[in-house]
């Protein structure tokens, strides 16, 4: 394990180049002296004429522009929604304070501005019971489809979040479409199995009903996946395996239905599973390819190389109760929020938005999360809550990409490279620091860094932690009428990584 780690963000707006200044800094440090803390410098840090470079020298190139970042967040499972709803009942002030801290996109606010939420269609392994919207066998037109079979707290919580964050993007997907024997699935149960051949042709209609159901709640989805984990059939919780051929057949039919029914703008996502199946499933599927975190992030780059113009969404990863706080944050930055985005992801999502301190409530009988999954937030039955390491990692990232102005654009990744003595400095720093398991050699070393931007230079010393920096500069066209906002991620875990900047 290596330790020097930082993350930076730039924000540029219309100013004369000579007045490029770092205005705002958000920081989470390994020793928790900073916890998504705003350090807004009382004296802004000026960019000046370039002098000697620091031990690290970050060079930003905003003429290179990559993908737009859709956002960060997690899944509002039934369990998470139930806990949010309990909190609202128990302590409404805490509920609204928490929603604000998680989701408010207000510029400069002490809030993460999370804006991307994934929602299971029907029951998942984090539901009170297994239910479905389509309960009538043989109802191939889905005239008895009922969106209200979902607990009402799912929709009320989403509506409350939407009231806090107008940018909320909702991504829906089924774990399993039906539970009645002889209906839609060959297993006759929510848990495990796959679609019957006869159901393949009607499944696209089922998905359309789901979109319309959410739309009827004022929650039109931004994206929909055909199936959660199509390579996974588990007999202890809702799941439904699907071959590449079946998912492709459904995808083609469903895209046409979506386009004909006013959902032409909704992203259709195939292979919502893990990194490991990229070559065997995602690439054959040739649809957009979200993935879970199982496998290695490098496998994501295989897909990115094959399909550079497809969206890649990182959709799910969970913390496990009892794991090390700072090691987790480093892993999340290295695999999801910085490096994953470098491999083309437009989202970085964790699993349950909220769970209690035991990783509950879990679907009775489910064999998932046997070691206890941790939510982004812990909500307790007594009306209190706390945020976990998952929150800090994604809050630092989210602060970099939410629009600066109401209605403005989300961040786009832009070019950056690291020069000067950075390699040497950070590798040596890591060698001093040693392994995570060896407290005796822990010697966190801050990295004195220069940042080069458009012929100007700023200096900042990054502590071991995750840091988000904002600064202002003219739009690249130097057209004062045209404001552009930029953001930078930079990260190193002790050896050189490409840094990630966002426009
Ligand atoms: C279902 O369809 C697949 C692919 O066409 C075929 O191989 C399989 O035999 C069919 N199964 C049944 C039970 O008809
Ligand atoms: C990805 O999912 C497949 C199917 O469930 C599974 O066989 C594989 O082990 C998973 N990969 C990892 C790294 O867990
Ligand atoms: C509320 O519950 C949590 C979790 O059980 C506990 O840690 C905390 O001390 C409790 N707070 C109050 C005020 O009772
Ligand atoms: C340091 O050691 C303590 C006690 O052995 C352990 O709980 C903690 O996780 C260790 N910290 C790190 C960063 O490894």
Q: Give residue 427 CA to ligand 1 midpoint distance, Å.
A: 56
Structure tokens given for 119: 């929602």
Percent of the chain at pLDDT > 70 equals 82
My answer on whether 44 and 176 are in the same domain is no
* Residue 285 within any structural domain of the chain: yes
Closest residue CA from atom 1 of ligand 3: 382
CB of 15 closer than 6 angstroms to any ligand 4 atom: no
Q: Which ligand lies nearest to the CA atom of residue 194 in the structure?
A: 1
Report CA Rg, the chain: 23
My answer on whether 57 and 199 are in the same domain is no
| pLDDT computed for residue 420 by the predictor | 56
For residue 89, count CB atoms less than 10 angstroms from its CB and return exposed for 0-12, middle for 13-18, buried for 19 or more.
Answer: exposed
Q: Which of 108-122, 333-347, 384-398, 466-480 has the lowest mean pLDDT?
A: 466-480
My answer on whether 292 and 334 are in the same domain is yes
Question: Among 372, 401, 430, where does a domain finish?
Answer: 401
Q: Is the pLDDT of residue 33 over 70?
A: yes
Q: Where does the pLDDT of residue 191 fall: very low under 50, low under 70, confident under 90, or very high at 90 and above?
A: very high
My answer on whether 452 and 392 are in the same domain is no
Rounded to 5°, angle at Cα 61 from 267 and 502: 35
Q: What is the mean pLDDT of residues 3-23?
A: 41
CB of 384 closer than 6 angstroms to any ligand 3 atom: yes
My answer on whether 78 and 95 are in the same domain is yes
CB of 322 closer than 6 angstroms to any ligand 4 atom: no
Atom of ligand 4 nearest to the CA of 324: 9
Q: Give residue 196 CA to ligand 1 midpoint distance, Å.
A: 9
| pLDDT computed for residue 241 by the predictor | 95
| Boundaries of domain holding 169 | 71-401
In terms of residues, how long is the chain? 503
Atom of ligand 4 nearest to the CA of 327: 13
CB of 233 closer than 6 angstroms to any ligand 2 atom: no
- Are the beta carbons of 20 and 4 closer than 8 angstroms? no
My answer on whether 173 and 313 are in the same domain is yes
* Residue 58 within any structural domain of the chain: yes
Q: Give residue 438 CA to ligand 4 midpoint distance, Å.
A: 8
Q: Which one of 93, 380, 386, 387 would you pick to mutate in the ligand 3 pocket, going by the greatest count of ligand atoms within 8 A of its CB?
A: 380
| pLDDT computed for residue 60 by the predictor | 77
CB of 439 closer than 6 angstroms to any ligand 3 atom: no
* Residue 259 within any structural domain of the chain: yes
Atom of ligand 2 nearest to the CA of 295: 13
For residue 477, count CB atoms less than 10 angstroms from its CB and return exposed for 0-12, middle for 13-18, buried for 19 or more.
Answer: exposed
| pLDDT computed for residue 118 by the predictor | 97
pTM of the model: 0.86
* Residue 90 within any structural domain of the chain: yes
Q: Which ligand lies nearest to the CA atom of residue 228 in the structure?
A: 2
* Residue 292 within any structural domain of the chain: yes
Q: Give residue 244 CA to ligand 1 midpoint distance, Å.
A: 14
- Give the pLDDT confidence of 305-314 residue by residue, as tens digits: 888 878 888 8
Q: Is 363 helix (H, G, I), strand (E, B) or coil?
A: coil
- Are the beta carbons of 333 and 393 closer than 8 angstroms? yes
Q: Give residue 198 CA to ligand 1 midpoint distance, Å.
A: 9
Question: Rounded distance, CA 221 to CA 470, Å?
Answer: 31
- Are the beta carbons of 424 and 54 closer than 8 angstroms? no
CB of 324 closer than 6 angstroms to any ligand 4 atom: yes
My answer on whether 245 and 260 are in the same domain is yes
* Residue 406 within any structural domain of the chain: no
- Give the pLDDT confidence of 74-93 residue by residue, as tens digits: 999 999 999 999 999 999 99
My answer on whether 98 and 57 are in the same domain is no
| pLDDT computed for residue 463 by the predictor | 81
My answer on whether 78 and 62 are in the same domain is no
Q: What is the mean pLDDT of residues 413-421?
A: 67
Question: Rounded distance, CA 240 to CA 230, Å?
Answer: 6
- Average pLDDT over the chain, rounded to whole? 81
For residue 403, count CB atoms less than 10 angstroms from its CB and return exposed for 0-12, middle for 13-18, buried for 19 or more.
Answer: middle
Q: Is the pLDDT of residue 439 over 80?
A: no
* Residue 358 within any structural domain of the chain: yes
CB of 436 closer than 6 angstroms to any ligand 4 atom: yes
Question: Among 401, 436, 453, where does a domain finish?
Answer: 401
Question: Rounded distance, CA 405 to CA 12, Å?
Answer: 12
Question: Rounded distance, CA 356 to CA 491, Å?
Answer: 31
Q: Which one of 324, 329, 389 would you pick to mutate in the ligand 4 pocket, going by the greatest count of ligand atoms within 8 A of its CB?
A: 324
My answer on whether 100 and 35 are in the same domain is no
Question: Rounded distance, CA 125 to CA 228, Å?
Answer: 12
Q: Which of 20, 52, 25 is nearest to 37 (CA)?
A: 25
Q: What is the CATH number of the domain that holds 269?
A: 3.20.20.80
Closest residue CA from atom 13 of ligand 4: 436
Number of domains the chain is built from: 2
Q: Give residue 334 CA to ligand 4 midpoint distance, Å.
A: 21
* Residue 227 within any structural domain of the chain: yes
**Ranked by mean pLDDT, which of 11-20, 172-181, 193-202, 409-418 comes out on top?**
193-202
Enumerate the H helices of 40-188 as residue ranges.
78-90, 92-103, 152-164
My answer on whether 437 and 339 are in the same domain is no
My answer on whether 300 and 427 are in the same domain is no
- Give the pLDDT confidence of 368-409 residue by residue, as tens digits: 998 899 999 999 999 999 999 999 999 998 988 888 778 877
CB of 232 closer than 6 angstroms to any ligand 2 atom: yes
- Give the pLDDT confidence of 41-86 residue by residue, as tens digits: 888 898 899 999 887 788 877 777 788 889 999 999 999 999 999 9
Question: Among 351, 381, 401, where does a domain finish?
Answer: 401
């Amino acid at each position: 394990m290596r330790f020097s780690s930082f993350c930076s963000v730039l924000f540029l707006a219309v100013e004369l180049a000579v007045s490029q200044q770092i205005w705002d800094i958000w920081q989470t440090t390994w020793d928790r002296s900073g916890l998504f803390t705003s350090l807004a410098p009382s004296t802004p840090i000026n960019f000046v004429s370039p002098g000697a470079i620091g031990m690290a020298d970050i060079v930003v190139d905003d003429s290179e522009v990559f993908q737009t970042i859709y956002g960060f967040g997690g899944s509002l499972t039934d369990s998470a929604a139930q806990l949010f709803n309990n909190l609202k009942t128990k302590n409404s002030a805490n509920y609204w304070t928490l929603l604000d801290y998680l989701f408010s996109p207000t510029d400069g606010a002490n809030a993460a501005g999370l804006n991307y939420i994934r929602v299971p269609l029907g029951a998942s392994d984090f539901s009170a019971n297994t239910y479905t919207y389509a309960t009538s066998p043989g109802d191939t037109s889905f005239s008895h489809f009922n969106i209200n079979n979902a607990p009402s707290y799912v929709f009320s919580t989403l509506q409350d979040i939407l009231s806090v964050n107008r940018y909320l993007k909702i991504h829906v997907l089924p774990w399993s479409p039906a539970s009645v024997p002889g209906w839609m699935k060959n297993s006759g149960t929510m848990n495990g199995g796959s679609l019957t051949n006869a159901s393949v042709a009607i499944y696209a209609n089922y998905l359309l009903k789901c979109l319309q159901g959410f739309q009827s709640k004022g929650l039109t989805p931004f994206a929909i996946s055909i199936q959660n984990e199509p390579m996974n059939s588990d007999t202890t919780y809702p799941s439904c395996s699907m071959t590449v051929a079946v998912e492709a057949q459904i995808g083609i039919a469903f895209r046409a239905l979506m386009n004909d029914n006013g959902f032409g703008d909704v992203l259709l996502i195939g292979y919502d599973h893990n990194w490991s199946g990229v070559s065997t499933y995602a690439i054959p599927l040739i649809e957009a390819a979200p993935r879970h975190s199982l496998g290695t992030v490098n496998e994501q780059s295989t897909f990115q190389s094959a399909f550079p113009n497809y969206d890649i969404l990182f959709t799910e990863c969970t913390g496990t109760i009892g794991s090390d706080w700072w090691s987790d944050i480093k892993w999340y930055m290295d695999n999801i929020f910085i490096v994953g985005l470098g491999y083309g992801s437009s989202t970085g999502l964790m699993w349950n938005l909220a769970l209690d301190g035991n990783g509950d409530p879990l679907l009775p009988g489910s064999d998932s999360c046997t070691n206890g999954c941790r939510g982004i937030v812990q909500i307790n039955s007594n009306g209190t809550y706390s945020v976990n390491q998952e929150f800090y990692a994604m809050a630092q990232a989210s602060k970099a990409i939410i629009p600066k102005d109401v209605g403005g654009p989300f961040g786009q990744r832009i070019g950056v490279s690291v020069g000067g003595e950075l390699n040497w400095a950070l590798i040596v720093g890591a060698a001093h620091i040693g392994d995570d398991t060896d407290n005796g050699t822990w010697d966190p070393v801050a990295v004195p860094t220069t940042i080069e931007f458009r012929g100007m230079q700023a200096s900042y010393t990054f502590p071991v932690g995750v840091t988000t920096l904002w600064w202002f500069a003219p739009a690249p066209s130097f057209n004062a009428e045209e404001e552009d906002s930029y953001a930078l991620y930079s990260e190193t875990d002790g050896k050189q990584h490409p840094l990630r900047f966002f426009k």
